Structure 1
């Protein structure tokens, strides 16, 4: 499974400017709605599901990265988007630091394997300091798409 198999490139937010975790999640889910990856009627329900997941423990995994995620019956396949918050967002991260790179995933409840593979794929790439540094420097949606494609190609080699 490659990043470009499930990241909706039209929903990428290369310059997210928000003041809270919930605002970040709302903006990212909104971007999925704007490009028709989810229905408007499901937007609030998806945000609520992700926030409920955050109550179990922050998905701010440290090193300036967060991976908010949920399973939701409104989607029929794993979808994701990426946001870059150049000013940082307080995500109650495990290391106490702000978050600059966010990957948001939504998957169907009946495909837990896809959900886990998506999380695993993202986590593997985010362990690379080079990948994170290049993402933090990205300025446009195209920059992010190019970095995701390069990461997918590196994974094959």
Structure 2
């Protein structure tokens, strides 16, 4: 599976406005809730429960908030860009700019882990991160990811 197989254009937000973690999660979840028909607040609650275990701000300006929902039929993947950066309680203590939101059905652990690993590998590539930081549209993000979106 490729990232672009599951990343829906309407779930790509290139101008996140929020300045804190809960605001960012609310922004990222809005299109995911519309796409899936799942309650917005349920999605945010699951993500915040995961954040309490440890921040999904992995450092290097990257956050990968993720969680599992039992009433979700298929996974949802979203992307967000915060141009000013947000305190996402990242491991390196620095602001977070690039976000991938991943919410999967409760019993899809293998797929959940594979997609987390794929996104993490993709974001380790500095030139790709730099291009994403400059993107101004969902189409640009799709093109950037598509250049390096190999099957896993």
User: How does the TM-score come out when normalised to structure 2?
Assistant: 0.95
Equivalent residue for 2:7? 7
Q: Structure 1 residue 32: deviation in Å?
A: 1.6
Equivalent residue for 2:16? 16
> Where do 4+ consecutive residues of structure 1 move more than 2 Å?
none
Q: Among 121, 130, 138, which residue is 1:141 paired with? A: 138
Equivalent residue for 2:36? 38
Q: Structure 1 residue 38: deviation in Å?
A: 2.0
More helix by share: 1
2:83 aligned with 1:83 = no
User: How does the TM-score come out when normalised to structure 1?
Assistant: 0.92
Q: Among 39, 64, 68, which residue is 1:71 paired with? A: 68
Distance 2:85 2:71 in 1: 30
Equivalent residue for 1:111? 108
Equivalent residue for 2:123? 126
1:117 is paired with a residue whose SS is: helix
- Would you say how many aligned residue pairs link Structure 1 and Structure 2? 151
| Structure 2 residue runs without a partner (length 5+) | none
